[in-house]
Amino acid sequence: MTLAGRTALVTGASRRAGIGFAIAERLRAAGAAVFTQGWTPHDAAQPWGADPELEPDLEADFAERDAPARVVAAAHDALGPLDVLVVNHARSGSGRLDELTADHIDAFLHENVRASLLLVREFAAQFEGENGRVILFTSGAHLSPMTGELAYAVSKGALAIATLTLAEELADRGITVNCVHPGPTDTGYGLADVDPAPRMPFGRWGEPDDAARLVAWLCSDDARWLTGQVIDSEGGFRRWVGSS
């Protein structure tokens, strides 16, 4: 599998322990030129913290309306016309129904939904090739409840729903659109402290490179016949074990 000659934009690639960084590394290893976006202030505010040893090509806050256009333009200026867009970024955070406020909901919708759709729009507008790829990321809200993460679950679930429509809109342009659900993945937020044995039949949690390998394949010519799909790549996760 080769991605030689391809150009890619990967969002949410500001932590070495994260999925975005693993994707960027996989795409580069396959021969692609890669431009990365990150927003370290968001990471710094989370329990896992920011990664001081890693700087994305561009810091951009997707809460800002014009950020998607600026990010795609910067990637285009650096690499030329883009062939691949990997929308990996996400606003993370908890919140049950009785804790929701309008501002809380808007923050998730703006960064996870609005920015993602605008990124796809800007990518499509500059696309000049014949074999484009868009990869979105969702959570597991389409498979089971995500109690305590309501706004996050809804915002990421929207991308799973959008995948089929985006795929139809862009099919005549030669652009495939697929969505990856990576399942429980150890990206440094504490999952490593939980015993995976009861829920993971292969005896471990997901690793960022598990998702990265799938994304690299979806970006390749080997996946040219696949579009409009939500792919649940979660290692056989037994989500109902231990629930009541």
24-41 pLDDT, tens digit each: 999 999 999 999 999 988
Q: Summarize pLDDT for 190-210 with one digit per residue, the tens.
A: 899 999 999 999 999 999 999
Whether 2 maps to a domain, the answer reads no
Orientation of helix 67-79 relative to helix 115-126, angle to 10°: 40
**What confidence tens digit (pLDDT) does each residue in 149-158 have?**
999 999 999 9
Backbone angles phi, psi at 149, to 5 degrees: -135, 45
Q: What is the CATH number of the domain that holds 75?
A: 3.40.50.720
Catalytic residue set: 152
Give residue-wise pLDDT tens across range 125-179: 999 999 999 999 999 999 999 989 999 999 999 999 999 999 999 999 999 999 9
Helices (H), 88-149: 102-108, 115-126
Q: Is residue 36 part of a domain?
A: yes
Task: Using the predicted structure, report yes or no on whether residue 241 has a pLDDT greater than 80.
Answer: no
Across the chain, what does the average pLDDT equal? 94
Q: How many domains does the chain have?
A: 1
Instruction: Note whether residue 144 is domain-resident.
Output: yes
With respect to residue 238, please indicate whether it lies within any of the assigned structural domains.
no
Domain of residue 68: give its range.
Answer: 7-232
Give the residue with greater pLDDT, 103 vs 190: 103
In a domain, 242, yes or no: no
The answer to whether position 109 is within a domain reads yes
For residue 242, the one-letter residue type is G
Task: Go through 163-181 and write b for each residue having 16 or more CB atoms within 10 A of its CB, e for each that does not.
Answer: beebbeebeeeebbbbbbb
Is residue 221 in a domain?
yes
Inside any domain, residue 237: no
Sheet with strand 58-59: strands edge to edge: 58-59, 33-38, 7-10, 84-87, 132-137, 175-181, 230-232
